[in-house]
Amino acid sequence: MDGHDPKATKHQTHAVAMEKYLEEGEKKALTLGNKGPIRFRSNGTLEQDIIESYREHGFYIFESVLDTAELADIEADLKQIQSRLPKDRRSNIDASGRPALTANCKSEPLYWAKPLSDPFGGTELGNGRHQISMTEPTPDEKAPEEIVYLVVGSLQFSDACLRVYGHPDLLKVAEQINGEDFVPFNEALFIKEPGLGASVSWHQDGQTHWNSPDLDEGTHGFNFMAQLYGCTAANGLWVVPSSHKLGKVDIKSMCVEGEADRIPGAVPLLCKPGDVAISSRQIVHGSFANTSPDPRVTVNFGFHKRSSVLNVETRNFDNESIVYDEEFIRKRSRVIGYAINARSKHFPNETPYVYQPFKNDMDSYKWSASARDGLRDYNTTDIFI
């Protein structure tokens, strides 16, 4: 016996291949030139070079959108949220014995996973859009049994995240991309702790309109991803540039044979603290388990074109049948009104964004303690297309 361990050799080979993959992806990302500050022309429209770059690559990184003070507010709320999480997924109390943050929620806003695992890959979650399973590294023996890696309906738990949602420049970008009557769909906090953060296997977010004759590269909307600590090739989201133009793809065929982790040509989103990336929901994207020493926390939210949503009959994330009529959309959109008002109170020197569907009704969306109570379980009206 020579002590040779085929399994260990396979892991070592994979680790070497991944190290090279991360390095090559980072180099390619830096050549794309699709990042810079948000810039508008004198007439208020987004600069054409930004629009063209976003349309070409399917993503763009807006630099230095959030300043250090706003990031500190987000971090403070994050720590408060984490301190009030349940002791485990079966508990309604936190580590201090208090009622957990989510104890009174009608729907479960927390997603749990084993450290460094791939909880979605190869399952029917999200209507089966995660076709393949990522490699699951072995966590440290002192790691907890499970972690919270995703908090949905995050605006009900964080005023700081609500204020980011109401950022006038970001909402102006949303208007430029999806029209002045754009529609919200889902908000979340992605938490990728060092040595613990779960992976998200390669997928496309869209699910409803792939066979529509009106399909274009923006049909399924986009995500904003505001970065609290920044993100690297090791802990950040990876995308396949321009894949948002391909329609529904067979992701298995895109991967290196026998290696679900690697899709040739993919690049990481490289961001500094305060940067906000925009990414088409039709782009092929995913992220690896965070074995790096760096945390990533992403304030995630996005918008649809109203024409993609109105009166669409589909199934929600839990595979339940649903129709998005005018009343449903208006109820879901109230978070925009509250966010604009909450931000204007906190940043009185900013010019608030005017959301056209509410332009004559903004007095109905005053942010207050009672409004906060009214947002409890608002994510039960999330929109999935």
Q: What is the CATH number of the domain that holds 73?
A: 2.60.120.620
Q: What is the DSSP string of 81-123?
A: HHHTSBSSTT-SBBTTSSBPTTTT-SS--EEEE-TT--SSTTS
pTM: 0.93
Structure-token pair, residue 2: 């020579």
Q: Is residue 15 part of a domain?
A: no
Burial status of residue 304 (CB atoms within 10 A of its CB: 0-12, 13-18, 19 or more) = buried
Q: Is residue 359 part of a domain?
A: no
CA distances from 160 to 101, 173, 247 (A): 16, 20, 36
Q: Is residue 250 part of a domain?
A: yes
d(CA 23, CA 14): 14
Q: Is residue 245 part of a domain?
A: yes
d(CA 163, CA 168): 10
The answer to whether 225 and 237 are in contact (CB under 8 A) is yes
Structural domain count, the chain: 1
Q: Is residue 238 part of a domain?
A: yes
| Domain span holding position 69 | 28-307
Q: Is residue 262 part of a domain?
A: yes
- Tens of pLDDT along the chain (385 residues) come to 455 555 555 566 677 889 999 999 999 999 999 999 999 999 999 999 999 999 999 999 999 999 999 999 999 999 999 999 999 999 999 999 999 999 989 889 999 999 999 998 877 776 678 788 899 999 999 999 999 999 999 999 999 999 999 999 999 999 999 999 999 999 999 999 999 999 999 999 988 899 999 899 999 999 999 999 999 999 999 999 999 999 999 998 998 876 778 999 999 999 999 999 999 999 999 999 999 999 999 999 999 999 999 999 987 766 778 899 999 999 999 999 999 999 999 999 999 999 999 999 999 999 999 999 999 999 999 998 8
d(CA 207, CA 239): 18
Q: Is residue 381 part of a domain?
A: no
Q: Is residue 343 part of a domain?
A: no
